[in-house]
A and B are shown apart, each in its own frame.
Chain A
Amino acid sequence: MISTVVLATGLTLILIGIWGMLTHRNILRIVIAFSLIGTGTHILMVAIGYVANGTAPIIDHGLSTAEAPMRAVDPIPSALVVTAIVIGLAVTAIMLAFAIRLYEAKKTLAIDAFTESKW
């Protein structure tokens, strides 16, 4: 149940991101929409790794080694998301650097001003 709600949230974020990328003409807003898609994907991956009534795969007082395989959620999507978040930040940094360069070239952030580099 709860993973379905989380899954729907992630997919909604991806949808908002796609809509934002297609409708907005400002490069910074497109970058924000791209980050929304990335964040939605992370939430989606965490939702896929959820096991019914599971808990974080960390052994402590509440979760003994013996019962961990029964009660823990899948650790692989979580490990993937940790790396994906860092890569998402790196991609955003590169996009913002190009946005600064494009602004220097045309003194505008509207993507319509860059049609000559379209094809």
Chain B
Amino acid sequence: MIRRAGIVLAVALFGLVFARLTVHHVERQSLPPLGKRYVELVPQALGAPNVITGILLTYRAFDTLGEVAVLFMVAAGVGLVLGRREGRNENPLTDAPQPPRQASEIVRTGAQILVPLIAIFAAYIITNGHLSAGGGFQGGAVVASSAILLLLADPRRRFDQQFLSSTESAAGVLFVLVGVAGLIFASGFLDNRVLPLGQFGTFFSAGAIPLLSVLLGAKVGCELSVIIDRFRA
């Protein structure tokens, strides 16, 4: 009873704080100086119409690199926590050892139709990240959703771990190499002006941003697929 009263009190106090935040919230009438600078600089200096992708893949690309490292650590950490279950006979998620139930025909047929479409959509999102809404992270997540669909349709499907890990490592190494090229040929680490900026708004433009986007998409897609694969019972 006392515990319940404490919970109600805590939630009510949080609610009070949040209500005050909402009441006193004033909508911005203009951009703050840093945001304004980015909105001006990304189209002019980097040649990328999508300001957010320009920030993610050039100005704050070092953070993006660190974040991909976090994803890699999570893949390794999930493997560590859930590892060494292969040798056991019993299936830990179902108490009686039994083979996984076959997916229904609707799911299997739907997966056959949808997986190629999802793959094309992911490629579109990744390669158009500098032109419109999209980019490596978003496209990589779409790739991972097709991996989930494949696993739902056929729970016994084995992903090629060798392929996934080597693709992921190659994408990571190339990402860093593009960054080092920026250090040598342009003005800093992960500067996108190592490649010609091209005509503004066309597919081959914005320097190295499309290339970095593809590498990031491949890396994120592979890492998320590995994480999903590790959860298989």
A and B held together in a complex: yes
Binding site for B on A (CB under 8 A): 1-4, 7-8, 11-12, 14-15, 18-19, 22-23, 49-52, 56-60, 65, 68-70, 72-76, 78-79, 82-83, 85-87, 89-90, 93-94, 96-98, 100-101, 103-104, 107
Binding site for A on B (CB under 8 A): 7, 10-11, 14-15, 18, 21-22, 25, 27-32, 34-36, 38-40, 42-44, 49-52, 55-56, 60, 63-64, 67, 70-71, 74, 77-78, 81-82, 92-93, 95, 132-133, 135, 137-138, 141, 200-201, 220, 224, 227, 230-231
Q: Which of A18, A78, A82 has a CB less than 8 Å from the CB of B11?
A: A18
**A3 CA to B29 CA, complexed, in Å:** 12
Other A-B contacts than A19-B11, A75-B35, A83-B56, 8 sampled, CB-CB below 8 A, are A7-B25, A18-B11, A51-B27, A76-B55, A79-B55, A79-B60, A86-B137, A104-B92
- What are 5 contact pairs spanning A and B, CB under 8 A? A7-B22, A58-B52, A68-B51, A79-B56, A82-B52
Contact A76 B38 (CB under 8 A): yes
In the complex formed, the residue of A with least CB distance to B18 is: A11
The answer to whether A60 and B132 touch (CB under 8 A), given A7-B22, A65-B44, is yes
Contact A90 B74 (CB under 8 A): yes
**A14 CA to B17 CA, complexed, in Å:** 12
Contact A4 B22 (CB under 8 A): yes
Contact A19 B7 (CB under 8 A): yes
**A50 CA to B179 CA, complexed, in Å:** 32
Q: Shortest beta-carbon distance, B132 to chain A, in Å? A: 6
Contact A18 B10 (CB under 8 A): yes
The answer to whether A90 and B43 touch (CB under 8 A), given A58-B133, A75-B35, A82-B52, is no
Q: What residues on A are CB-neighbors of B25 within 8 Å? A: 3-4, 7
The answer to whether A1 and B39 touch (CB under 8 A), given A11-B22, A14-B18, A15-B15, is no
